[in-house]
Structure 1
Amino acid sequence: MEKRWIRKPAPDPTQVRHLADTLRINEAIISLLCQRGVCSFEEARAYFRPSLDELPDPMLMRDMDRAVSRLERALHSGEKVLVFGDYDVDGTTSVALVYAYLCPFFGAERIDYYIPDRYQEGYGVSEAGIEYAVEHGFQLIIALDCGVKAVEKVVYANERGVDFIICDHHLPGEEIPAAVAVLDPKRADCPYPDKNLSGCGVGFKLMQAFSQSQGFDEEPLHNLLDLLVVSIAADIVPIFGENRILAYHGLRLLNDQSRPMRPGLDALHELAGLHNGTLNISSLVFGFAPRINAAGRMGDAKRSVAMLLAATKEDAIQKAGVVDKTNTERRGFDTSITKEALQMIEDSIALRNASSTVLFKQDWHKGVVGIVASRCIDKYYRPTIILTESNGKATGSARSVIGFDVHEAIGECADLLDQYGGHMYAAGLTMPVENVPAFQERFERIVAGRIRPEQLIPPVEIDGVLHLSEVTNSFYRVLCQMEPFGPGNPNPVFESGSVYAVPDSVRVVGNSHLKLVVTQDGRHTVDAIGFGLADYYEPIAKGFPFSMCYTVDMNEYRGVKSLQLRLKDIRL
């Protein structure tokens, strides 16, 4: 697939020189820092050494005082608390964090957790969850990663004598639920300075405020940051500001060899085969998140929470094994449905030439439609919605491309929908089955009229130009100190031109991947691998010069570590 190379503007040379005089490190690194708004020694210190002391005051969040007061009342008056969360990674880690923190104060007999069934109850606060609270004597529900649009459900809960504290990070609707407290930095009336927290992050802020109000030592709360960083990674929230601080310290916990890893996460660590190397955001996204998500996609997400809360390694391994088996089952559905969806596009001239993809099939598994939408974007880079039938309705997930607000586009079809919600790049929706053709037609018209041609070509953002002689072990060590990488602080991508392959070094591995040794001047050589770039084998093997963009990585093979370039794209 053709890619669009976007070279980021060079930073102000004066700022680069000033920071270089202060830090005295590689100028390419200095340029990266200035590009990311790190232009002084103080900013560099905060960037390289994020401190929990720099976290914003949780009481700045709208309704936090009311939330803390209600939680204190529950604690001191003997009430029971139900921790309610969404069935995805953000929701289940939120529930695990809040439950684990509050359980020692309330006691196991006064606190429990509840995850709605994806298929029977659907997304968010459910009537069944409220009934469960009533039947089991819970007077307070803490809703995590959901609830900001649950206006009717909160009214129903109030009528049943159950109070709500909502901790959400999704965009609110026109009406805020009549809960005791609605904590959501995206509320228009919320002055909280960081609007990019995950749902688990909002739950953490409630626990932080509660801890401070009670005068508790915050170390037990900070020891739960390993759960929070998993939510930050999986929910693809920007990793700058508060999220960067939280992710940095969460990863430090996970990689701390002097203390045992949380049993549930340790079991995931083993199942994902991540024994070698340091855990980072990428390994959480691809190793931990799919397994945690699988339980909710394929059945009961409470299994993921139970795994995360497991007290012993033996118990965690048993529970993680069930979750991993579920993930294997999920992969089977994912593969077969993706193949079917791509074939539907291939077989239709109209779909091949469209600006969007909206596919519907009654028997597709609801739990994997979001993954299938992402897979389709890998092949046809455009806003994509995959729908299936569930409980007599067409329901599904949307994914988008860089710069296009799919949530907004879906909103312009609201009269055809029963409900929808989500973010700029990911959303969920439900509609009557008979409305699917009209929705497909209107959504395509909206996208085609609004999306720019260049948005239909996947971009590769390039931070700067490097000569291969600059790619050294010391350069890589400093680069690693810029982690955690993710949205808002991406792994730097570099460009090198007029390079060529060392003779006889080029080969194809795994059918579609290009492996080679590159050089720029005949003296400095670096190993490189390009996933999915095997189509370039012939010209490169013949010695044609080319330009490449890449990230710098460390490869380990049979105990030997060596620098390796991960090629993002090649231009002959």
Structure 2
Amino acid sequence: MPDPIPQWQIYADSDVPEAFVQAVKQQAPGTEGRYLPRLLWQRGIRDVEQLAGYLFAANYQPTSASEFGQEMQWAVQRIVQAIERQEAIAIWGDFDADGVTSTAVLWDGLGQFFPQHEKLFYYIPNRFTESHGLSKTGIDQLKHVQVIVTCDTGSTNLEEIQYAQSLGIDVIVTDHHTLPQMRPPVIAIVNPRTLAKDHPFASLSGVAVAYKLVEALYEALPDIPEKSIDNLLDLVAIGLIADLVELKGDCRYLAQKGIEQLQKQSTKEATRPGITRLLELCKRSGDRPTDISFGLGPRINAVSRIQGDAHFCVELLTSLDVERCRELAEETELANARRKALQKDVLQQAKAKLAQIDLSTTGVIVLWDEQWSGGVLGLVAGQIAQEYGKPTILLTIDEEYAKGSARSTNQIDLYQLVKDQEHLLHRFGGHPFAAGLSLAIDNLPLFAQAINQRLLQQSDPPTPTIQADLCVTVSELNLELYKELRLIEPCGMGNPIPKLLIKNCWFNAGRNTKLQDLRGRKVEYIRTPFMLWDETVEKGFPGVWWGHYAYELPTGRCDAIVELENNTYHKRYEVRLVGVRACDDVNVTASTQWLLDWRSHRTEESAIELKTAPASWIEFQTWFRRAISQQLPLAIAYPPPTIMPPVEIWQTLVGIAKYLSRTRKTATRQQLYDRLQIGDVALKAGIQALEQFGFHVSYENHCFSVSISHGNPEQSNRAIEQFLTAVREEQFYRQYFAQVPFGTMRSIVSQWN
């Protein structure tokens, strides 16, 4: 069946009212208003009265913490009572970035009222040995306190709350996750899900709710705090942007204010040495939301993903001990390097499993493996969901349960889908875009079948899409565009980073490189630098393609979707490549006359010949669009494929690698295709297997070169098996394309836009 081919969509150039354009230019002096009005209009920001507050935090009127109503009053009253009675209080956090920063906000905020480590304590569960939320084991370690304040967790832990009560401990819940049907027996539950969906607090994450509790306490006891509450806003920004919440209303305001505070940490005004060192390590300045989403957030999350215990992250974010913070930041950086390698391995293995699945009849991707590291499953699930356009659940298996993470796409409420199978689950929790779950191993096949049926009953399987916001030229990738795009920030759920479509462009790829950790060890995570050109420039524009090799970039004209970035480390603007395909200057809808069948009868007309059976519909589509761009039909002219045993292909590939390393000669991509009879996907898997096997493969000037390197025996067998799986999959498709009726091809082509 056809592979999932992402459909590219571009917003139509709808007329933006001139009055709105002028209003935007008035609110954003110093900009030309070429792009910003259209972006705002597309995203539904059309109320002129709200423009000033949306674009600039200084013009927004933040909502009072009292909007949480009586629950907030009860929470503050109990904490004030604990202060007066000199009771001990514990913060119960969580191990992800939102949970860690929530804990840090309460640690610093409540630390203005309680002596830390004497009357104020914090507890964060271990990702590997515990789960999200309260646990009886953890509560037993807090028997000496009289109050527990949760953050980013706790709403559905009814049994654990009752257990704490039995020990004489009062519980205050601050959270943003799904509420139970009945209010839990707590002193207070401060959760934005108790408010209307259009309330300014509706999308607050855990860290923002924790901040609002501290804000209410500051208002109740204004004479006690010695530090301004604004000092907490950098922590709030990190948690908000790292979590999957919609940045609107007060959520957007807090993120904007928090970034203003965060960028101070890379200056002489720095107040958090741990954050300062983290910014140095990720080579960022803290003035962009992407400094969090691609820099700080992944590093904080990596600690629990690799070590399980994220307890020291709170110390990293709040301590004033420069040397201690430097030590913890570097430990965090090493964990992140290890996370990248694990994430890449699991992604490869998951894709190998996907190759065995008929995705045309799959609504929700559910995969499991006993070897997978549970700490990176959420990240990989997110990558697969985005690439394949389907909600994805990945699980690892221990002796009794399968545990894992789920990520959604295309606005599908994944939490509800999982909840509908509650009778098969041991535990679960989350929100519409992300969830965690565990279930008995014996229930896995039934769960996968049931959740797929549930989604397919609701709607047709979603088609993966990439939505472009603006069509620009390379010459427009300049300061003016950057200034206008920045006013859209902070970006996140509901307000994605603007994607720019560049047509009829081409690439000059640099040498792909592997990252290195602090100890100089290579990390199995690839980045390819490039220069981007089109007819409007005489000098290429720099960019990076993460997770891809240089040879994967097309060699001719193409269309690309990119995101514009400011690389403060290299002091330049650059783009991040999101998607690339052959030029689409001609609308190919219903262009079946551009397809010829020469397998049995050759005609005299000129055509682009497809002489080797493709290994996927994506490869076939690439050939078709290439022919269209040259204004020639595509002729299907391949014979039945010759099928070599996959093991023999691997042995041949190793022989080629030995020959190239010994002779220092090079080979082109086409030479490897012809010699091995494989395509892009299998070649990429083969190169990865070679590098685990003991070779270093580089790609420069459209040629591969090979040298001897250090192998990884633990990973090589698995990498070789992934290569063999990719070869088998491609061979299956080549045999399929050798026999597929021409009418089926014409039907598929007619669906492409």
Equivalent position of 2:316 in the other structure: 307
Write the letter of the residue equivalent to 1:515: F
Any residues of structure 2 matched to 1:6-405 within 5 Å, and which? 6-8=9-11, 10=14, 12-19=16-23, 22-23=26-27, 25-39=32-46, 42-51=49-58, 54-62=61-69, 63-108=71-116, 109-134=118-143, 137-187=144-194, 193-216=200-223, 220-256=228-264, 257-274=267-284, 277=285, 279-297=287-305, 298-346=307-355, 348-350=356-358, 354-377=362-385, 380-390=388-398, 392-405=400-413
Cα offset, 1:59, TM superposition: 0.9
Between 173-182 and 248-257, report the one with greater CA deviation.
Answer: 248-257
CA distance in 2, matches of 1:53, 1:407: 32
Write the letter of the residue equivalent to 2:556: P
Matched, 1:561 2:578: no
CA shift in 2, pair 1:375/1:49, >3 Å: closer
Write the letter of the residue equivalent to 1:124: G
CA distance in 2, matches of 1:384, 1:422: 14
2:556 to 533, 539, 542: 539
Cα offset, 1:33, TM superposition: 2.8
Equivalent position of 1:543 in the other structure: none
SS in 1 for 2:438: strand
1:412 to 403, 420, 442: 420
- Percent identity for Structure 1 against Structure 2: 27
Between 167-176 and 297-306, report the one with greater CA deviation.
Answer: 297-306
Cα offsets for 1:203-230 (capped at 9, x unmatched): 0010011111112569621111111111
Write the letter of the residue equivalent to 1:120: T
2:485 to 479, 492, 499: 479
CA shift in 2, pair 1:342/1:322, >3 Å: same
Cα offset, 1:350, TM superposition: 4.3
Cα offset, 1:422, TM superposition: 0.9
Write the letter of the residue equivalent to 2:270: P
CA distance in 2, matches of 1:561, 1:255: 18
CA shift in 2, pair 1:335/1:190, >3 Å: closer
8 A contact 1:518–1:528 mirrored in 2: no
CA distance in 1, matches of 2:146, 2:198: 29
CA shift in 2, pair 1:345/1:21, >3 Å: closer
Cα offset, 1:509, TM superposition: 4.2
Write the letter of the residue equivalent to 2:81: R
Write the letter of the residue equivalent to 1:527: F
8 A contact 1:239–1:486 mirrored in 2: yes
Write the letter of the residue equivalent to 2:294: F
Matched, 1:488 2:527: no
Write the letter of the residue equivalent to 1:166: V
Cα offsets for 1:77-111 (capped at 9, x unmatched): 11110011111111111111101111132112110
8 A contact 2:412–2:432 mirrored in 1: yes
Cα offset, 1:309, TM superposition: 2.1
Matched, 1:550 2:562: yes
CA shift in 2, pair 1:391/1:313, >3 Å: farther
Write the letter of the residue equivalent to 1:538: T
8 A contact 1:116–1:129 mirrored in 2: yes
CA distance in 2, matches of 1:462, 1:440: 33
Write the letter of the residue equivalent to 1:2: I
CA shift in 2, pair 1:17/1:222, >3 Å: closer
Equivalent position of 1:510 in the other structure: 512
Scaled by the length of structure 1, the TM-score of the pair is 0.88
Unaligned runs of 5+ in 2: 514-526, 584-753
8 A contact 1:513–1:534 mirrored in 2: no
CA distance in 1, matches of 2:207, 2:446: 37
Cα offset, 1:188, TM superposition: 5.8
CA shift in 2, pair 1:482/1:258, >3 Å: farther
CA distance in 1, matches of 2:252, 2:425: 37
8 A contact 1:50–1:245 mirrored in 2: yes
Between 209-218 and 111-120, report the one with greater CA deviation.
Answer: 209-218
Write the letter of the residue equivalent to 1:552: L
CA distance in 1, matches of 2:347, 2:579: 23
SS in 1 for 2:319: coil
CA shift in 2, pair 1:315/1:65, >3 Å: same
Write the letter of the residue equivalent to 1:32: L
Larger relative contact order (CA 8 Å, sep ≥ 6): 1
CA shift in 2, pair 1:340/1:446, >3 Å: same
Write the letter of the residue equivalent to 2:534: T
Cα offsets for 1:358-399 (capped at 9, x unmatched): 122234322222223234335544221111234622211111
Any residues of structure 2 matched to 1:412-491 within 5 Å, and which? 412-453=420-461, 455-457=462-464, 459-466=465-472, 470-491=476-497
Cα offsets for 1:545-566 (capped at 9, x unmatched): x544433334578x66356575
8 A contact 1:194–1:241 mirrored in 2: yes
Write the letter of the residue equivalent to 1:254: L
Write the letter of the residue equivalent to 1:551: E
CA distance in 2, matches of 1:422, 1:59: 26
CA shift in 2, pair 1:534/1:570, >3 Å: farther
Cα offsets for 1:498-539 (capped at 9, x unmatched): x444xxx6335428858344334x567662547259655233
CA shift in 2, pair 1:350/1:486, >3 Å: closer
8 A contact 1:530–1:568 mirrored in 2: no
8 A contact 1:549–1:570 mirrored in 2: no
CA distance in 2, matches of 1:221, 1:310: 17
CA shift in 2, pair 1:16/1:463, >3 Å: farther
- Compute the RMSD of aligned alpha carbons: 2.9
CA shift in 2, pair 1:519/1:16, >3 Å: farther
SS in 1 for 2:300: helix
Equivalent position of 2:541 in the other structure: 527
CA shift in 2, pair 1:352/1:339, >3 Å: farther
Cα offsets for 1:417-470 (capped at 9, x unmatched): 1221111121111111111111122122223333434x231x222223445555
8 A contact 1:553–1:566 mirrored in 2: no
